[in-house]
Structure 1
Amino acid sequence: MESTLKEMRVGASVLDMDPKSTVGGGVEDVYGEDRATEDLLVTPWTISVASGYTLLRDPQHNKGLAFTEKERDAHYLRGLLPPAIISQQLQEKKLLKTIRQYQLPLQKYSAMMELEERNERLFYKLLIDNVEELLPVVYTPTVGEACQKYGSIFKRPQGLYISLKEKGKVLDVLKNWPRKSVQVIVVTDGERILGLGDLGCQGMGIPVGKLALYTALGGIRPSACLPVTIDVGTNNEELLNDEFYIGLKQRRATGQEYYELLHEFMRAVKQNYGEKVLIQFEDFANHNAFELLAKYGTTHLVFNDDIQGTASVVLAGLLSALKLLGGNIADHTFLFLGAGEAGTGIAELIALEMSRQSKVPLEETRKMIWLMDSKGLIVSSRKDSLQQFKKPWAHEHEPVKGLLDAVKAVKPTVLIGTSGVGKTFTKEVIEAMVFYNEKPIIYGPLQPNLTL
């Protein structure tokens, strides 16, 4: 105990010890953190952390003015804080009032990120209690602007940056991350951030924001989350010429060099965090997204939100709609406007469900699903020029350019939009759907920032 207290005084954190070995006779609580015994008379989360000045600069355990008198004595905080004791609820009220005074979404985003950097628990309480108001601030749509201006608003690093400079040393880089009990990793290479294109290293805002949702909406401890950006360069000329750009100023690596770094990362993650760590691929370009998912889907616990996450939500909505309409999913014909990661991912999951219900081979159920990209209906005559992930959806049909003409040609019972192109679901398109179906199922564009 004496040696432990000595570590605490000099600012050494012992949170990364075996979670079952508690400090000072405490026991592990339901969140995997130490719960104090009564004789220690301090809050649960401040048992095994640094004290004094260092504690106030540890966002995971800092409580600001909410530290009680006993806690201030126990953790050598006397004189380091103003004398007032302000509850977390009152702090939350004050911060929400301040954030609401900002006129620009990016100002609100910066305020929220600064709060997360100094008082993590207050950040999540504020977000959870005001999720409808603040979700668009910490994630889409505001996070898109934040990524575009990340170099300018950058103050304190969040997450882990792994660049080509670290090739051959990725495991060592992972070991630099202070929190060892990582359960979820969200990783991006910044090539296709929302619908904004290649933002390179500045794409870090996406994994940071996504993992905030894991905690606020999914209940995952922040200490179990790791945002990662793989920096292999950027093809964005504006960023390459920006003196404030925070990433590698070189053209984006491709081919063997790219996949070698990704493979080293995937291998190092499993070696450092074990078999059960979840890796979410986020905002990778189509050609890499599908290949990475196929390559590591059988060796790692992985998923791609754009391909699979959106698909699961759409399928759930579709099955719910069928409860009102009656019949089976295999009775329907589908037309998608958009053939990127979301469109093809949703289409594949629907085809799998159709195959499961009807006992018909997957190759046959795919024929009931039609996709359109920026060049028109995906048909067999275009197969040689199509990207690999679009080829399963190239059916026999004459070329069709416009959505209205495609509706008339295919006569779908379900129309799904996964394109960011506006004003495509026109009155004429909806009227055509109603003409061919008494009760059509229509999903408006699902991802406003998605490009074809």
Structure 2
Amino acid sequence: MSSDLYRFKYDEYGNTKEIIVYASGDSARSCRYINKGTAFSEDERKKLALDATLPPGVRGLFDQIQSSQKKVNGKADDIEKYIFIRALFNRNATLAHALINSDIESYIKLIYTPTIGLAVQQYSSMFRQANGLHFYPGNIDSAEDILRRFSHRDIRVAVVTDNHGILGLGDQGAGGIAVCLGKLMIYTQGAGIAPWHCLPISLDVGTNNEELLADKHYLGWRQHRLKGEQYLSFIGRFVRAFRNVFPNALCQWEDFSPATAFSVHDAFRDEIISFNDDIQGMGAVAAAAIFSAMKVKKEKFTDQYFLIHGSGTGGIGIARTLMSILVDLGMSEKQAAKHIFVVARDGLVSTERECQFYKKPFAKDPKVFPWLKELDPTNIPAIIREAGITVLIGTTGHEFFFNEEAINEIKKNTKRPLILPLFQHVSTSAKLCQNIAKWSDEGILIGTGNPCATMDALERSTGISQCNNAFIFPGIALGVLVSGASEITQDFFIVAAKAVSDMITDEQLQDGRIMPPLDSMRAVAKSVALAVAMCAVEKGLSRPCIYSDFQPNGDETRMAKLIDRMRWKPEYLPLTPM
């Protein structure tokens, strides 16, 4: 077991200060946390029985990064670059993170969206080495014993998926764990949560993807998905095991289908410290962009009317966050709901048609909005006109939603409209990109979702910002860990959104930028963490930090100090052979 090879030693702030090494020779070099490759010093080589197993020259971390950059650049395409970085992480976690940190804007597109979608789809065919845990009906009853094998790593954050709603790709079976792996790398990059404190987990309850079930190379549990009581019982067994082994760790739910995402989050939020990034993270990043836009427009949040296309986890997550903000600003829930309109596949969500429970707070009653009776519920420009929409948000839809006619209508309602195309941009059309560039030139405020090559070019050349959840979830986690928060509330995401918005300079706002640059992710996470931690104190949710001897005791200055000192940096740690 890996616990026999090494042990981590921590300083008073809970940051790793050295690694006690019990292994030697190939066993030491094969451990991703111990391995330094050619950077092992002469003394370390002798004490760890590595003498003569490496070339005599010693190459430091800086030189290793440069060498790795050249290797990445020499790969034929993004998926090959992804494979290289993942393989590097499996050999040498510190070097992999140092490489990513050297150019976070470029490498985040390889370790996460959009490349991660390809990695998910090709998971079984390109499988090389196991990472994380795969629970399925054959081993879920042993979940607690399995999780205890990782106790020596002091797990602080787990990203957990049931693989059902992957990045707009739908049910991808066992491949969904690749998203967890990528997301945890961002937790490390942004929040400084060391890679050994991170655990990716797949809850493999089967798949309804017939192509995967028919694929002889598919590595997942080859059954149709559990549902109903069987499904909830499976999730419940995992939750109880996780709570018993890691009661103070954060569990981030990832890529559940809308039908289960809200139910799972709501059912277990009181049992483990948890949140769903697709719901709450998406809501917070959209809110951050809107807070910034209000500074540019010099308008009130309460004077805005929002139209959201997409009634899944992202769309309803945004709607829930907007409602919470409007209520905080003095509205009743009933008043706030009148400002938020949601469009599903069959058109505007209304009380005239059946809808899932999570959509009902936003279903519009024709008695309150008489114009609904005469309106085609899929006519976006007409909805914008009748509802007085000033902010257009899309989590799906592409040209159907963001078209010339719709934009012409919204310009009649406000001098500077805000549009947020937050869907995945893997296949963004040239026409939409041309329109976005034109609208930006016209003074429309724009924030886009996760990157692709066509959008990247636009963001560099025009005043368009990237609304990436990476600005939110790392800071949420760090703030929860340092404050010892007993639960994660919606308030945390609202203060996180405000903290992100406050990181934008006046000059950037004048240029129409409504989100910080991605290379400031680490600084943003620090600001978000402090806001979240102090919110936990204010709401009476803070407890002693279990990971640190140094206690902030609710003091903001001490909390900021703990946040700064707890964060791991991708630098080689001292090794103490035993």
Same fold (TM over 0.5): yes
**Kept after mapping to 2: 8 A contact 1:332/1:413:** yes
* 2:244 counterpart (265, 271, 281): 271
Q: Name the CA distance, whole Å, in 2 between partners of 1:14 and 1:97.
A: 32
Q: 2:69 corresponds to which residue?
A: 96
Q: Name the CA distance, whole Å, in 1 between partners of 2:133 and 2:140.
A: 14
Q: Give me the identity figure in percent.
A: 32
* 1:197 counterpart (126, 149, 170): 170
Alpha-carbon spacing, 1:236–1:446, altered in 2? closer, same or farther (3 Å): closer
How far did residue 120 of structure 1 move? Answer: 0.6
Alignment of 1:405-444 (within 5 A): 405-422=382-399, 424-444=401-421
Which AA in structure 2 matches 1:12? Answer: D
Which AA in structure 2 matches 1:322? Answer: M
The reply on whether 1:287 has 2:279 as its aligned counterpart is no
**Kept after mapping to 2: 8 A contact 1:282/1:306:** yes
* 1:354 counterpart (322, 326, 330): 326
Q: 2:16 corresponds to which residue?
A: 33
The reply on whether 1:377 has 2:377 as its aligned counterpart is no
Which AA in structure 2 matches 1:227? Answer: P
How far did residue 402 of structure 1 move? Answer: 2.4
How far did residue 440 of structure 1 move? Answer: 2.1
394-403 or 65-74, larger mean C-alpha shift: 394-403
Alignment of 1:8-157 (within 5 A): 12-15=4-7, 19=9, 28=11, 32-34=15-17, 44-45=18-19, 47-157=20-130
Say which SS state the counterpart of residue 62 (structure 1) adopts. Answer: coil
Which AA in structure 1 matches 2:417? Answer: P
* 1:169 counterpart (142, 148, 152): 142
Q: Name the CA distance, whole Å, in 2 between partners of 1:210 and 1:232.
A: 21
How far did residue 72 of structure 1 move? Answer: 0.8
How far did residue 30 of structure 1 move? Answer: 5.0
Q: Name the CA distance, whole Å, in 1 between partners of 2:88 and 2:397.
A: 33
* 1:188 counterpart (154, 161, 167): 161
Q: Name the CA distance, whole Å, in 2 between partners of 1:285 and 1:374.
A: 15
71-80 or 202-211, larger mean C-alpha shift: 71-80
**Kept after mapping to 2: 8 A contact 1:174/1:272:** yes
Q: 1:331 corresponds to which residue?
A: 303
The reply on whether 1:400 has 2:377 as its aligned counterpart is yes
**Kept after mapping to 2: 8 A contact 1:196/1:449:** no
Q: Name the CA distance, whole Å, in 2 between partners of 1:196 and 1:350.
A: 26
Structure 1: 5+ residue stretches without partners: 1-6, 21-27, 35-43
**Kept after mapping to 1: 8 A contact 2:161/2:254:** yes
TM-score (norm 1): 0.88
**Kept after mapping to 2: 8 A contact 1:190/1:201:** yes
**Kept after mapping to 2: 8 A contact 1:420/1:447:** no
Which AA in structure 2 matches 1:349? Answer: T
The reply on whether 1:231 has 2:207 as its aligned counterpart is no
How far did residue 159 of structure 1 move? Answer: 0.6
Task: Could you list the structure 1 runs, at least 4 aligned residues long, displaced by more than 6 angstroms after superposition.
Answer: none
Alignment of 1:233-272 (within 5 A): 233-272=206-245
Say which SS state the counterpart of residue 359 (structure 2) adopts. Answer: helix
Q: 1:387 corresponds to which residue?
A: 356
Over aligned residues, Cα RMSD in angstroms?
2.0
Structure 2: 5+ residue stretches without partners: 366-371, 428-578
**Kept after mapping to 2: 8 A contact 1:128/1:217:** no
Say which SS state the counterpart of residue 398 (structure 2) adopts. Answer: coil
Deviations 1:32-85 (A, max 9, x none): 334xxxxxxxxx43x334222111100111000111111111111112212221
How far did residue 392 of structure 1 move? Answer: 1.2
**Kept after mapping to 2: 8 A contact 1:186/1:227:** yes
The reply on whether 1:363 has 2:334 as its aligned counterpart is yes
Which AA in structure 2 matches 1:341? Answer: T
Q: Name the CA distance, whole Å, in 1 between partners of 2:76 and 2:245.
A: 43
Deviations 1:374-408 (A, max 9, x none): 111111101xx211111111112335212222212
Alignment of 1:315-326 (within 5 A): 315-326=287-298
Which AA in structure 2 matches 1:380? Answer: T
Q: Name the CA distance, whole Å, in 1 between partners of 2:425 and 2:273.
A: 28
Which AA in structure 1 matches 2:258? Answer: N
How far did residue 231 of structure 1 move? Answer: 0.4
How far did residue 29 of structure 1 move? Answer: 6.8
Say which SS state the counterpart of residue 263 (structure 2) adopts. Answer: helix
Which AA in structure 2 matches 1:33? Answer: T
Alpha-carbon spacing, 1:447–1:331, altered in 2? closer, same or farther (3 Å): same
Q: Name the CA distance, whole Å, in 2 between partners of 1:49 and 1:372.
A: 58
How far did residue 336 of structure 1 move? Answer: 1.0
Q: 2:499 corresponds to which residue?
A: none
Which AA in structure 2 matches 1:89? Answer: F
124-133 or 403-412, larger mean C-alpha shift: 403-412
Q: How many correspondences in the alignment? A: 419
152-161 or 422-431, larger mean C-alpha shift: 422-431
**Kept after mapping to 1: 8 A contact 2:314/2:395:** yes
- Largest Rg, 1 or 2: 1
How far did residue 91 of structure 1 move? Answer: 1.5
**Kept after mapping to 2: 8 A contact 1:162/1:173:** no
Q: Which structure is richer in relative contact order (CA contacts within 8 A, separation 6 or more)?
A: 2
Say which SS state the counterpart of residue 259 (structure 1) adopts. Answer: helix
Alpha-carbon spacing, 1:214–1:198, altered in 2? closer, same or farther (3 Å): same
